[in-house]
Chain A
Amino acid sequence: MKAPKNTDHKRAEAENWILRLYVAGQTKKSLIALANLKRICEQKLENKYRIEVVDLLENPKLAAGDQILAIPTLVRKMPTPVKKIIGDLSNEERVLVGLDLKPVS
């Protein structure tokens, strides 16, 4: 796995969720998306997650790996299967459905 920037360091043993957020520079949409993601994760996953932010302007090569077209895109790397959510994550209901978190709550 390539080395994206880790913004949130949680305890290693608790990391059964790996979420990667693709952005292109510090745009408004990206910032909103990241804020939304952090909020949802804190609420639903507590400490069992890790968020990686990939800025494609810095690393354009990485776009091909996860087949990124839309910005922002959130990719659930773990647990499998891989899921993709596009948009700024402002529709929380759909984010939860997309991450398979809905039935849990």
Chain B
Amino acid sequence: MNKKTTNSRTTESIPKTLSGIQGLDEITHGGLPTGRPTLICGSAGCGKTLLAMEFLMRGATQYGEPGVFMAFEENEQDLILNMRSLGFDLKKLIAQKKILLDYIHIDRQEIEETGEYDLEGLFIRLDYAIKSIGAKRVVLDTIEALFAGLPNEMILRAELRRLFRWLKDRGMTAIITGESGDKTLTRHGLEEYVADCVMTLDHRVQNQMSTRRLRVVKYRGTVHGTNEYPFLIGEAGISVLPVTSLGLNHEASVQRISSGIPKLDEMLAGKGYYRGSSVLVSGSPGVGKSSIAAHFIDAACRRGERCQLFAYEESSDQIMRNMRSIGIDLAPWIEKGLLQIHAVRPTLCGIESHLVSMHHKIGAFKPSVVVVDPISSLSITQDEAELKPTLMRLIDFLKMQKITALFTSLVSGGMNLEDSQVGVSSLMDTWLLLRNAETNGERNRTFYVLKSRGTAHSNQIREFVITNKGVDLQEIYLGADKTLTGSARATQEANEALAEQRLQREHQRRLQQLDRKRTTIAAQIIALEAEMKSDEEEMKSFAMQEELRQKTLSNERRTMSRLRGQ
């Protein structure tokens, strides 16, 4: 099972055996060293036995490699019960001869040492167990119990060295567990004998929340992840979460999907979010983050896409009631199987556990849209520094799956909105900010797009109005020195309307006045023309009268002269 490593100089690393444990094979680039023993150390209750057992069971069920489990601490019955609680039917595998369980009980009280001896009995038992089922995998859990049971440490150490060599000679891929010691990895220094691959498990409690972590301390002859990786013991066994081993090589979609709010789509170049991008909606309490989320869910379901909502503040009933009040009915989508709501308290478990349950839920439901409302609740149990890598893992995971994700984030009062989210905001592609504006004795919501990678977006601040028909984004009044929202905006708008009306009336009046004046002048023109005409007429009649008079005069003179001349 040679696996190519990322290192270009070593193209082939040592043969590896897949453990089948989620995430572990990624960290180790292919599993545990084949035919060699691996030491797993950790304090009590950190999951050593479980990891070892899962290694065997996965080997037996998935890779056809039977395994022997030598238990020094728990007896068969306990182990079977413990594994059943994690969904593994150990009894069946034992019956099928895929796994052999051998419980070795040592009681110091019963043992009296009387001279030279060796541990051939253990070898014989192990050999017999391996041969009887043709085992390829072996677990010794935990061989350190021998140190408590056998008084002569010198003999024991020599025998352990022989045992590990013996296991190697037989080509057994083995897991040896050990309690962690004060200064050494294991209490009795088992790491001296098992030098090929060593992993530590750790179980820490911070702020009353427990987190398990796994680290590969050394792994000879191969590259491996060196970080501490959180792991979980869940319903399906162990899951190790590799942090950013995924790298940044997800495909970027050019497809756009609606935010569910037409005016918001308009602000984002008229098209909405990119598919597969991550969106952060942050704001102070009660600004309507969940409403934006609900619109997005509603829009996704309307397109017939599956949607997964992780709610950490409200129960699914409460969400549906509240969203109905703004005119969004999510119930039909649940009935149609398009929407799945997973509502739990954030304090239920550590953030890693939440992450794993998200993985499982997303893996099973295969949604194209995921909403987390709110991510800030998750940080209640963890400081921001730890939240970031976890979210990075989640976002990476979602991006690989081309899932569009919307996260809401609560910003508590007094904090600078932009500063407080720096930790996670750099992971986000689109960041919508909601803000409260308090003026004139009322609180109004303002909204803007703080960033949106790879797309033109409006630089405007809008007023965010929640109506019973959903969310609306209204343009706010931008005055000389101030922006106005709410009733102040309404008053301003009314005032403006009034002033406008007045102006229009004035304009009308002026127009009418001018019109009237024009009409008067026109009338005057007609009167003058008439006058002129009558004057002309008069002139003509004068001229005619004069002509007539002249004519008459000359006639009269002629007549006179004729009369005298007789």
Contacts and interface: CB of A to CB of B under 8 A. Distances in A.
Interface string B106-120: 100011111111111
B150 interface: yes
Contact of B112 (A22, A33, A68, A94): A94
Given A60-B128, A69-B122, A91 B117 contact: no
Interface string A61-83: 10110011111111000000011
Contact of A72 (B104, B105, B117, B150): B117
Interface residues of B, number: 24
Contacts of B26: none
Interface of A: 22, 24, 29, 32-33, 56-57, 60-61, 63-64, 67-74, 82-91, 94-95, 97-98
A70 B112 contact: no
Given A86-B114, A88-B114, A71 B106 contact: no
A24 B124 CA distance: 8
- Secondary structure at the B interface, as helix, strand, loop or mixed, is mixed
Nearest to B149: A69
Contact of A71 (B113, B119, B146): B119
Contacts of A57: 124
Interface in B420-454: none
Given A84-B110, A87-B115, A71 B120 contact: yes
Contact of B113 (A22, A60, A86): A86
Contact of B111 (A63, A84, A88, A90): A84
Contacts of B122: 69-70
A64 B113 CA distance: 20
B121 interface: yes
B115 A90 contact: yes
A89 B102 contact: no
Residue with the highest number of chain A CB atoms closer than 10 Å, among B105, B112, B119, B146: B112
A90 B112 CA distance: 12
Contact of A69 (B114, B115, B116, B146): B146
Given A64-B102, A70-B121, A89-B114, 12 more contacts: A22-B121, A24-B124, A63-B125, A69-B119, A70-B117, A71-B121, A83-B110, A84-B110, A84-B112, A94-B114, A97-B112, A98-B114
Contacts of A61: 128
B115 to A, nearest CB: 4
14 contacts: A32-B115, A61-B128, A69-B125, A69-B150, A83-B112, A86-B150, A87-B114, A88-B116, A89-B115, A90-B114, A91-B113, A94-B113, A98-B112, A98-B114
A56 B122 CA distance: 10
Contacts of B102: 64
A70 B150 CA distance: 9
A72 B119 CA distance: 9
A57 B127 CA distance: 10
Contacts of A97: 112
Contacts of A90: 114-116
Given A64-B102, A69-B146, A24 B111 contact: no
A73 B115 contact: no
A71 B114 contact: no
Contact of A56 (B104, B111, B124): B124
A91 B114 contact: yes
Nearest to A72: B117
Contacts of B128: 60-61, 63
B117 A86 contact: yes
Interface string B78-97: 00000000000000000000
Given A63-B121, A89-B114, A91-B114, A69 B106 contact: yes
Contact of A67 (B104, B113, B150): B104
Residue with the highest number of chain B CB atoms closer than 10 Å, among A24, A70, A73, A97: A70
Contacts of B115: 32-33, 87-91
A71 B118 contact: yes
B121 A68 contact: yes
A88 B117 contact: yes
Contact of A86 (B112, B124, B125, B127): B112
A83 B177 CA distance: 29
A97 to B, nearest CB: 6
A70 B116 CA distance: 10
A97 B114 CA distance: 10
Contacts of A86: 111-114, 117, 150
Given A63-B125, A64-B102, A24 B112 contact: no
B162 to A, nearest CB: 13
A70 B124 CA distance: 10
A36 B119 CA distance: 20
Contacts of A70: 117-122, 150
10 closest Cβ pairs, A-B complex: A98-B112, A87-B115, A60-B128, A71-B120, A90-B115, A68-B121, A87-B114, A88-B115, A24-B120, A87-B117
B336 to A, nearest CB: 58
B153 to A, nearest CB: 13
Given A67-B106, A70-B150, A56 B121 contact: yes
Contacts of B125: 60, 63-64, 68-69
A40 to B, nearest CB: 10
Nearest to A70: B117
A74 B114 CA distance: 10
A64 B278 CA distance: 59
A73 B116 CA distance: 11
Contacts of B121: 22, 24, 56, 63, 68-71, 73
B224 to A, nearest CB: 34
Contacts of A72: 117
